[in-house]
Each structure stands twice: as C-alpha cells, then as structure tokens.
Structure 1
Amino acid sequence: MKLTPQHRLFFAAILAAAVVAATVHLSLLAPVFDLVMTPHAQGGLVITRVTPGSLNARQVSQGGRLTRLGGIEMDGTLLIEEPDQLGTWESYNRFLDALGQLNAAVDHGVVSAEIDGEPVTLSARPRTIGDLPSMFWVQLAVGVLGFLIAAGVYAFRPRDRGAAHFAVTGLGLLLSATAATVYSTRELVMDGETVRLLSAVNWFGTLTFTAALVALLWEYPRTLGHRFPVPTIVYGTALLSWIGFVRQLFPDPGSVYLAILCLFSITFLFAWLQWRKTAAHPVERAALKWYLLSIYLGTGLFAAVILLPLALGTEPVASQGVMFVVFLLMFVGIALGITRYRLFDLDRWWLTAWIWFFGGLVVIGVDALLLWALGLTQGTSLALSLALVGWIYFPARQWLFSHLHRGGDERGRQIHRLIQELFSAEEVGQLAELWHKYLAREWDVLDLQIEPGSLSAPRIGNDAQTLAVPHLFGEQHLVLRHPHRGSRLFTRRDSEAATLLHQLARQALDGLSARHEAIEERRRIFGDLHDDVGSKLLSLLYRAKDPASGELARSALADLRDVVSQSDEGVLPLTDALADWRAEAQERLDDAGIVLQWEQTVATDLPVSTFRLRHTARILREALNNVIKHAGGTTVTVRIAETAGRLHLAIMDDGVGSDPETWREGRGMLNIRHRLNKLGGSVQWRRHAQAGCTLEVTVPLDQPLTPAGTPSR
C-alpha cells in the first residue's frame, strides 16, 4: 500500500497520542500527600500549603517543617526538577535511591514522618488527572505540538532529507519534553527507577534534537556537501554520548549540558556556510533568514537560560519546565515560514491540510473526554461533542481560513485598477508599459525580462523561481523572476492569476486596436466628405439664383467644414471663438439685410473645450437662421457675457414674432434643446412687450459633461 500524506499524519497522531497516554499514566503512578513544600534553610522541607480536604489536614499545619519521611532525611534536593542538576553522580544516584525508598514506604498509603520534631503519620492517595499541575500540560503540549508540526512537514515531503531531519527534531522534543514533565511535576514521591529511565529518555531526546538540528542545517536549504556523511557522524556522536551518560562514564551528570552545547555550537558554523552558499540564490536566502530566526529564537533562549548556566556550574535563570515553551517558538516559526516563504517547498495548503486533519481529531477527542469525564452514553457524548465542535472549532477554523485568504479583496481592487489603467491607454506602447509595470508590481519581482519565443499560456519554471507569461504581441514572452523580492516561489495560483491578467490585457489591446481603426475610418469619412460633398455644396453656392438658396448652401457648407475640421478634444480661448462667431454672424446678417449689434462682456481670455464651443456656435447659428427665416425684423442684438464659469448668450430681434408659448417646436428648436442637454445648459424664449423675441441661453463652461454629452469617437 502506498502511503499518502494523510496516512503519515494519522500515524504521527497515533504516536503522539500513545506518548501522551504513557506520560499521563506514569504521572498518575506517583502518590500525593496534598502538601505544597519548599526547602528550608536549616534542612528539611517547609509545608507552605495544605490542600483543603486533604487526608493529612489534621496531622499537618501550614508552616511545619518536615524533617523525616519513611525513614529518609528530608532536604531540598528531593524537590529538584531535574536530577542531572545535582552536580555529581553520587548525588544523582543518592537522589534516585531516596525516591525509591520513599515510594516503597508509601506503597501501602501510610508512612511515618517527623514534623517539627514530633512523630506523625501521613497518608498518601493515588494521583488523579485533576491533580496534574498546569505546567504538566504546558510541557506536554509543547512536545506534542512541536512533534506534529515537524511530522507534518515530513508527511508531505518524505523524500526530502531536510524534512526528515526536521521530523527527528520534533521526535527529540517530544521525548525530551514528555519525559521531563513526568518527574519535574511530581509532588514529592516517585519511583526512583522510573525517574532514572525517564531521565535517560530526556537525555536521549535532547541529544537527538540537537543532533538533528545540526544535520538539518547541513542539508537545508542547500546541501553543504556529499563527500562526508556529516549527519551520520553527528547522530553517531549523539548516540555514543547518550550511552556514556547512561553508563555514567562522564565526570558528572551536568556534562550532558556541555555536550549539548558543543553539538549546538556546530549549528553556527553550518549556518554561516549556508549563508555563503545561498548568496546567489535569493529564494533560499530568504528561507534561510526566516529559518535561522525561528531556530535561534527558541533554542538560543533555552541555551542561554538553562544550558549555559548549568554547563558553568551555576543555577539556571528560570525553571526548565517554563523554558520548554520557547522550543515551541521554533516550530511555530517554521510553520509560519512554510505559509510565507514555502520552507521545505510547502505552501499554505500544508496548514490547511493540518486544520482539516485536526477537525476529525477534535471530534474524537471531545467525544472521548465527555465519555470519560461526565460518564455520558456513547450517543449522547457524540452528539454533544459534534455540537461543541460546530459551535467553537468550525467557526474558529473558518476565521483562520478567511485570515489566510484575506488578500482576495485586495486582489480584486488591484485588478479593477489595472482595468482602468489598461483601457485608458492611448497607444500600444503605453498599454504594454502599463501591463509590464503592473506585473512587476503585483509580484514584486527582482527581475522582469522580454525573451524571444511565443507562449500559449503562463508557465512556471526553474524550480518555481520564474513565471513565463505570453507577451501581448509578437513572437515574445515575459519572464518574471523571484516573486516578493525573492522571499517565496511561484505557485499554481500565481499562474492562474497571470492567465487572467493576460486575458484582460489582450482585451484592452483589442479594444485599443478597434479604437484606432475607428479613428482612421472617421478620418477617411471626413476626408471623403470634405473632398466630395464639400465641392458639390460649393458648386451649389455659386449657382444659386436667389438669396435663400445661396444662404442654404452657405449654411450647409459651413456645417460641413465645422464637422470635418473641428475636434472634440483640446481647448481654445473663448475670445478667439467669439471673434469667429461675430464674423460669421455679421456676414450672414449682412447678406439678409439685417443690422447686427454685437455686445460682448468677457473679462478674461478663458480657455474652453472645443466641444462646448462647437455646440454653442451651432446654437447661435440656428438662432440666427430662425431670425432670418421667421422674425421679419431689421435688427438683431447679440449679447454675450461670462460670469462665474457660465456663458450667457442672448439673441434679440425687433420682428413681428408671436408668443413663444404658441409656437410649434420644429427641428431648429429641438436641435437647440438637444445640444444644451449635452452641455448641461438651459434655454428660454420670451416675447418682447412691443415687438420681437429674445432667446436666452446659459452654458456652463467648467462642470463635467452629461453622459449624453460625452463626445463620440
């Protein structure tokens, strides 16, 4: 049967569960007196607390000094957390013998004692899970979590030697932490041979952890050499050292700390060699930085607070049990490095797989706890465990998933900005430049090059350090190297994102090409109108036999020239436009025999868009056409003023026009209203008291155009 990552995760969980069960079982073998004791300066142990409800509550009072128990002289060494801190093998063996005698003495539950010089009888009871202190569970959790993180890496990378060494570090931590938590959290008494065995397991785990750390730095992120079997030598040295300590061949039990420090010091040499070897490999260098930070943050603190003082023969700065927690910093840091820097070539799916796996374990664990603690039936406990998991675990898991993928909304906003930029490009070169800049910014790459050869789709290459993307045009493609400044590798998700971006860029390029074709077609049509229709209108103007026909031909020719020659883009000085309007109005009214009175109040040479000027000129032209055709007057007054960014235009005649309320709107009036709707302006016709009418027009010169007023291209 082929082993899958799920199988390996399951086996790792089973092993961890077995170690937890053994650890709890061994801890429960130690009897308890329900007393809290500390060493006394003059010998013996001071009782600092008697647990309420204790069997010994009547025989013992707080503050009493316990000097003998089961025929053994009491001293502070019997409360020591770690027996190898006693200094000599003689003290170490004497401590274990004393524990053995005490355990034998309380085997029947009652033991003679001497408190404050008075003989008393103390009763011991079996230990329960509720008696286990919080530090027991903390050390146990550190060992289990560290092991599962390391085993999880190996589960997905079983052929990677670096992952194998990392798994061994997790196993070493599991053995070391669980063994130490049994004897370091005892109340007072425990079988001496059990402590001897657990102390040896603790040494084995610590030496194995350190040796695996050295071997790991030899293999990862780049192998430092194949000529010498350095990992084998390191593991062999650790094994021989452990045998020497078990057989007590070293000068004292504290030498184990010196041996561990010597092994650990090799990591600095290998770290320096790895630093040199990854100089030309930014991905490995980024992974190494995070990797070393995780390792030395945890192990360095433990070495400085525990190992170094003990190797120098002084008291450690903090409790060894408490300092076990710093090891978890290393494993959690490496787990975070996997999701950020793809350590061991794993990605965020590694953490996702663990979360799903733990989901099943949580259901089983809660069910077992309810069966054991509350004595519920199997069906009731299963239902209740599913409810608790649904209310607590699954919402927490969903929050973690959303936290891991919170970059989705930002990616959407970035694509929206890209679309705006690409579809606003005016030239092909500008579009290509915008797209190249976006790709470099999106992945924060160290290098982006254009290389020959066409591609049909994005492709990841060179051990996921490069991403090749099809170019927008030509037999070329783009190569992006080292994403996020070389801190990670390209993934399938990056390839999918690049495919989407390339499709967007191609659509923008197609739209730009269609727009350029439309502009060229417009220019061709305008040229044909100017050459063909313009010449025919000019012939009609010269052949006109009456003023009305000539005026019609002249007006059509002016409109044609206006359409062909003027652009909707750019700006012109308002005074220049007014001069053209006045000249045209003067010519047309002179031909019709009408007097023009032009009144103009424009204080500044204001720049106005040609689009507004063109439509306003046509409004004036249409108004003069109506005066010439329908008013029957002799004088036209045109008043133009500009105030507060608005152009006010009034055309007044002295004709015999009727009330505008009775007019039937023709094409001329409709055209005027349509143009003013585009410009966001207003229009009003009114009749004079005596004779004639006035057309009043207001055109804003600075506000945005309405959607209908957006010039067509």
Structure 2
Amino acid sequence: MSLIAAGSALALALVVLAVLLAVRQPWLGLQLRMEGPGLRVTAVAQSGPAAQQLVPGDLIVALEDPALGRLHAAGFEPALEPHVLASYQAYDARLQREGEFWAYLQQPHFTALLDNGSALSLAPRAETPVRALPAPFWLFHLFGMVAWLTGLGVWAFRRGQPATRLFLLSGLGFFLATWSNSLYLSRELAIDPALLAALGQFNHGALYLMLGSLLGLLLYFPRRLVRRAPAYILCVLGLVLVLNDHQRWWGWPLHDFYFPILLMYFAGVLAASWQWRAARGRPLDRAALRWMFLSVFISTGMSLMVYFVPAMLQRQLLISQTAMVGFAVTLYLGLALGILRYRLFDLERWWFGAWLWFFGGLAVLLVDAAVVFVFGIQPVAALGVSVIAVGWVYFPVRQWFWSTFAASGQEQLEDHLPTLVGGLLAANGSADMAHRWCRVLKNIFHPLDVRWVAAPSAPCLVEQGARMQVPVPGSDQGLELVYSQRGARLFGRRDLDMVRAMLTVTEQAEKARTAREAGAREERRRIMRDLHDDVGARLLSLVLGAPDEKQADRARAALRALRESIFALDDEVRVELLDCLDQWQLEVEQRLHSVPTVLEWHCEGVPGVSLCARQAINLKRIIHEAVSNALHHAHPSRLVITATADQHSLRLRVNNDGAERRPAGQLPGRGLHNMRTRAMELGGSLHAEAQGDGYQVRLSMPLGQTREQDDDA
C-alpha cells in the first residue's frame, strides 16, 4: 500500500505541475473554431478580457499589430493535434504558424479584425484562471491516472513477475502521454512553439514507451516466449524512433508519426498469435489471453479505425482525441483483469459476444466509409445504406458463427437426461450409483482427469475454473474434474448450474429408486413369509410323515433348498465369506466320500470379507455345478478348489486332472450356461476351458462390503 500511496502522490504532483504550466498561458476568455476565412467565436467567458467586445458567432479573419503587422487567420485550427499532420514538413510548418499567433499573445494588446470590417482591441491576460481550463485538460489527467494507478496496483501486488513490470511501464507511458497532451490540446489560441515541440517529443516518447511495453507484455505473458535480449531490442528501437522524430533521419509511408504505431499494432497481433499457439492445452493461460485480446485489440483496434487510420489517409477524424484516449484507457482495466486472472470462469459466456459486437460496429463503420468515399453518397443516406447492408449480410453470418463456435463445448442437460435417469434408476447400491455418476460426468464434460476428494457441500469451482468439485449422491466422497473438454476450456458458472440441475434430478431418481426398492423388499418379505409358513410347513409334514427313509431324505433336501431360496431373498443379511467356504468345503468333501477323487481346498486373503445372501447362494451353486460337471464328465483323480479374495474382488478356480468326456458334436449343457448367468448376476465373469491334461473353471467377481464396513454402516 505504501508503493501505491507514493505512486499516487507522485502522479498528483505531476498533475499540479501541469496545472501550474497551464495557468501561466495567456488568456482571452474565448473558445475558437476554424471556419471558412477565419476563426469563429463559439463561446465568450463573462469575466474574460474579450467579454465586452466579442460575442458568440463573430468571425475573426485576421490579427493586427503595429510591430508584427497583419496575420490572416484562414486555415488555422487552434486546438489541432500537430501529430495528425502526415509529414515532418507539415508539422514544422504548423510550429511556425503556431509561433506567429503566439507572438500576438505576447503583446500587451492587439487588434482583431472581423469579417464585417470591425476592428476590436484585445488585451490578453498573463495567466489563465484554473476554472477556465477546458474539460479535456481534466479528462486527460483522469484517464492518465486510471492507467497509471491500474498498472501500479497490479505491480504492487505482483512485483516478482516481468509481466507486471511491463504493465507498470505501459501505464506510466500512458500517463506521461496524456500529461503532455493535456497541456497543448487545452490551449486557447496558441502556445509557445518551443514548448509545443518539446511536449510533442515528450508525448511521442511516452507513447512509444506505452506501446513497446504492451508489445513486451505480449511476449512475456502468460508464457515467456523470448529471452531478455529481445526486450532490450524493443527499448533500443523505441529510443531510435524518438530520436528519428527529432532528427528526421528518415520518413515513413503514409504518415511520419502514426505509421510506426500501425507497425507496433501488427507486431502485437503476431505476438498474441504466438502466445495463443504456445498456450495450447493450458486453459488458464488461454483465458487470461482472452482478456488481453479483448482489451488490447478491441480498444487499440477501434482507436486505429476511428482515429489513426483516418489521420493517415488524410480523412476527417471520426472521433476527437479526447474520446479516443478515453476509449483506450479501458485497455488497462482489461489487462489488469487478465494479469490478475480475476473471474476468468465468467469469460466463456460473453467472449464471442464481445468480439461479435466489436466486428458488428466495425462493419457498419467500414461500409459507411466505403459508401461515402467510393460512391460519393451523402453521410446521412450512407449511414442508412450501411446499416441495411450490415443487417442483411453481417447479422446472419454472425448468428451462424455464434451457433457454430460459441456453443461448441457447451453441453445441454437435456441431451444427457435419458442416460442420467436410466443409469441412476438401474443403479445397484451406492457404489454402483457413484460409478454411474462418475461415468455421466465424464461423458458430459470430458475432463482431462477425475479424482476422488472429500465431498463438497455443493458443486464449486477451484483455481478460477481449472477444476470443478462435485458431490457424489449417497456418498461421503466427491469427484474433482480437471479441465473441461479435454483441456480446451475452463469450467464456468454454466457448468455449475448444469451440475446442480443434475443433482436435483439425481435426488428425484434416488427417491424413486429407494421407493422401488422398498416396495420390492416388502414384496420379498411377504413371499418369504408365505414360503416359510405355507410351503415350509408342508415340506416339514412330508419329512415327518414319510413312509421310508428315502422319501424322508428327499423331503429334507427339498426343505433345505426352500430355506436357501428364502435366505437368498433376504437382502439385509450378510454372511462371512470364510464361514461360507468352510461350509462349502464340508459339502464337497461329503460328495467326494463315495468316489476316488482327492480334494485340495485353498483359501487366500479371505478373512473379514462378507457376502450378501444372494452372493452366497450363487457362489455355492456355481461351486456345486462345477464339482458336478467334473465328476460327471471328467472322472478326475484330483480336484483343486482355490479361493482368493481381498476387499474388492473374489477369484475362484476349480481345477481337475481329468479330461472332459463330451460326445462329439454335443453342445455345452444348461449347467455351464447357468454358472455363467449366475456369474453375470454377481457382476463378474466365468470362463471354462481345457488346461493341460485337465479342465479349469475360473470365476472373477467384485465384492461389496467387508465386515468392518458393515459394522461402520
């Protein structure tokens, strides 16, 4: 803050110095405009020295003094910016003409000759009152202060960056240019030609400092494209341009003063194109560049079109220099936002709109100028023709351009609603929902990377839109998406709105899914009760009333199958995998008791893993069917069953050393088909194939919760 305070104090001191220099100029209390053969009086100050002699509307055709003679006023514009003159010769002639009028202002009094033959004696006052300083004087200082303080404020908080130093130098150049401009553009009739020449040289030096710094900024920000040597070369070139304005070593095409400015503009376009290409794959850098392009090329481009280009072509200026400088100062606000990377995620929405607005206005100006200069149509009629032509040609093209490019990369929620709702309704639990939610987000935004993070309370943007964090419905975790559209753009507010809408849809879908599952659960419970109370009771009666032991065993087997079916319907029950494997091992050993087959049973990493009832039943029946197939088709001497599990997956292998004996041409039976169907129901896969001299059945399936996770739940 001390740097900003010191810089502000220095700028205010220079403004005070400008006021002191301005008030020391002679004062007539007149506002004059070149018109016809002389100078038209447009306003007269009531307290001025000419208040009792001249009135608005009088036309001064000449000045006369006994010592200086008569000086005709035709062709002399008092407030002319000397640098709009195309050549050094015209500039020198203007300085000479300025000196002639200045000599009259140095006299105690002189005579003003009017077009009606009147001769009036005018006595200039030695100083100009502060209140009489014109509005452009104060506006130029205001614009300069805005540029200087903007550059100073950015540099004060980012002093370690070359870009901010260049931005500071550019703001300083702008301030010094407007400071000198304020003195000679606010003159009433004339100013000391030596002072005018010095101020003009100072103004051009400051202008080259501003433009050279901006060009250097485009070479250094957001990525350094060159080494330090080119920066020094820019300084040397700026110094050479200033010296050439003074020494006149060579002239320039079209305009000796403004042609170098045009060259700097095109050099800036090349540097910006280079930066844009170098920022490929870095959305943050490109977003900052968009701010710079908007500020630099719209403000300077508009200034070129409405002020510098007409001056170079010796046409009438479309706006005053005060308006041009006021428009140019917006450049610094845009550059400050770009360098500080402020609210970059809001840029996508109106980036194309701003450019289309600029080109729309530019198209009207160009067509209007072409109609006036080429076809010679009056300006009022030409404006109507240009508006009609642009409306019929430009606006349809603009609409096509907007729909083609501005909307690219912007997804619409309705395009993804069917997939979103269908996937969420089909989700099988929270883990499956999180997986489907992640997949939908990937399909919509195509991020460079997706990471699991702590769940945010609501969707939010991180690092000005480089990353977007999104909560996962039904989970205590969240997803972080890195760069949208494979790194082509940042996330924006529109993306946040879309994700919020998706979360709302997801909540409704989750409610519908929960209601559906609750209804299904209640129906399963009813079926379980009916099976247990009715069918179970009847089977138990068959066991107790069986005429012989064989019939009783069949009834007991049916009763066990019924209990397993009832158990499979209960989705709230979980059993430990290790207990299930022990039970299944005993059952397989009992089946092998009457055959000459040796069983080897291996379990790895299974403690703490739990299964739901349906998983347990499907696994049991897969093992049962695999053992049955081996005994029926292969008659093995050795059967090896291996179960390997962790918290996320289970792998089961059933190997036998017998060769499967299937008649030629016989297709696989229902047993293998049922095993694969059960594996798919478990979310896994099953493969059965010959291996060496034997046969192998392999199952791989994902697991849900561990016992510890069950306890936490």
**TM-score when normalising by structure 2:** 0.52
Aligned position for 1:691: none
Match among 10, 21, 24 for residue 16 of structure 2: 21
Deviating more after overlay: 96-105 vs 32-41: 96-105
Distance 1:536 1:242, change over 3 A: closer
- In 1, Cα distance between equivalents of 2:106 and 2:478: 81
- In 1, Cα distance between equivalents of 2:275 and 2:141: 33
Question: 8 Å contact 1:180–1:202 — kept in the other structure?
Answer: yes
Aligned position for 2:33: 38
Deviation at 1:267, TM superposition (A): 1.4
Aligned position for 1:597: none
- In 1, Cα distance between equivalents of 2:486 and 2:198: 50
Deviation at 1:327, TM superposition (A): 0.6
CA root-mean-square deviation: 5.2
1:229 counterpart letter in structure 2: A
Matched, 1:345 2:341: yes
Question: 8 Å contact 1:34–1:51 — kept in the other structure?
Answer: yes
Aligned position for 2:51: 57
- In 1, Cα distance between equivalents of 2:335 and 2:167: 10
Distance 1:532 1:260, change over 3 A: closer
Distance 1:156 1:113, change over 3 A: same
Question: 8 Å contact 1:45–1:74 — kept in the other structure?
Answer: no
Distance 1:502 1:158, change over 3 A: farther
Matched, 1:233 2:237: no
Aligned position for 1:274: 275
Distance 1:149 1:297, change over 3 A: same
Matched, 1:122 2:116: no
- In 1, Cα distance between equivalents of 2:121 and 2:439: 84
Match among 432, 435, 451 for residue 434 of structure 2: 432
2:236 counterpart letter in structure 1: G
Deviating more after overlay: 318-327 vs 469-478: 469-478
- 5+ residue gaps, structure 2: 347-416, 540-565, 567-713
Aligned position for 2:590: none
Matched, 1:221 2:222: yes
Question: 8 Å contact 1:450–1:476 — kept in the other structure?
Answer: no
Deviation at 1:237, TM superposition (A): 0.5
- In 2, Cα distance between equivalents of 1:22 and 1:514: 78
Matched, 1:112 2:113: no
1:326 counterpart letter in structure 2: F
- In 2, Cα distance between equivalents of 1:313 and 1:64: 26
Question: 8 Å contact 1:283–1:465 — kept in the other structure?
Answer: yes
Question: 8 Å contact 1:450–1:477 — kept in the other structure?
Answer: no
Aligned position for 1:245: 245
Distance 1:177 1:511, change over 3 A: same
Deviation at 1:470, TM superposition (A): 8.2
Alignment of 1:283-362 (within 5 A): 283-312=284-313, 316-334=317-335, 338=337, 343-347=339-343
- 5+ residue gaps, structure 1: 1-5, 351-416, 540-563, 565-713
Question: 8 Å contact 1:173–1:206 — kept in the other structure?
Answer: yes
2:180 counterpart letter in structure 1: A
Question: 8 Å contact 1:283–1:486 — kept in the other structure?
Answer: no
Question: 8 Å contact 2:112–2:122 — kept in the other structure?
Answer: no
- In 2, Cα distance between equivalents of 1:473 and 1:215: 52
Question: 8 Å contact 2:86–2:312 — kept in the other structure?
Answer: no
Deviation at 1:113, TM superposition (A): 2.0
Deviation at 1:331, TM superposition (A): 3.0
Matched, 1:47 2:41: yes
Alignment of 1:384-533 (within 5 A): 427-428=427-428, 431-432=433-434, 435-436=437-438, 445-447=445-447, 449-450=449-450, 455-456=453-454, 465-467=466-468, 478-483=479-484, 526=526, 529-530=529-530
Deviation at 1:122, TM superposition (A): 0.9
Deviation at 1:102, TM superposition (A): 5.3
Distance 1:427 1:446, change over 3 A: closer
Percent identity (aligned): 23
Deviation at 1:334, TM superposition (A): 3.9
Aligned position for 1:708: none
Alignment of 1:574-653 (within 5 A): none
Aligned position for 2:80: 81
Match among 44, 53, 63 for residue 68 of structure 1: 63
Instruction: State the SS of the aligned residue for 2:80.
Output: coil
Deviation at 1:266, TM superposition (A): 1.1
Q: How many residues align?
A: 457
Question: 8 Å contact 1:32–1:189 — kept in the other structure?
Answer: no
Question: 8 Å contact 2:471–2:479 — kept in the other structure?
Answer: yes
**TM-score when normalising by structure 1:** 0.52
- In 2, Cα distance between equivalents of 1:118 and 1:521: 110
- In 1, Cα distance between equivalents of 2:236 and 2:321: 27
Instruction: State the SS of the aligned residue for 2:76.
Output: helix
Deviation at 1:302, TM superposition (A): 1.8
Instruction: State the SS of the aligned residue for 1:186.
Output: coil
Residues 213-245 of structure 1: CA deviation (Å, up to 9, x unaligned): 21122122332233x622221122012211232
- In 2, Cα distance between equivalents of 1:506 and 1:59: 84
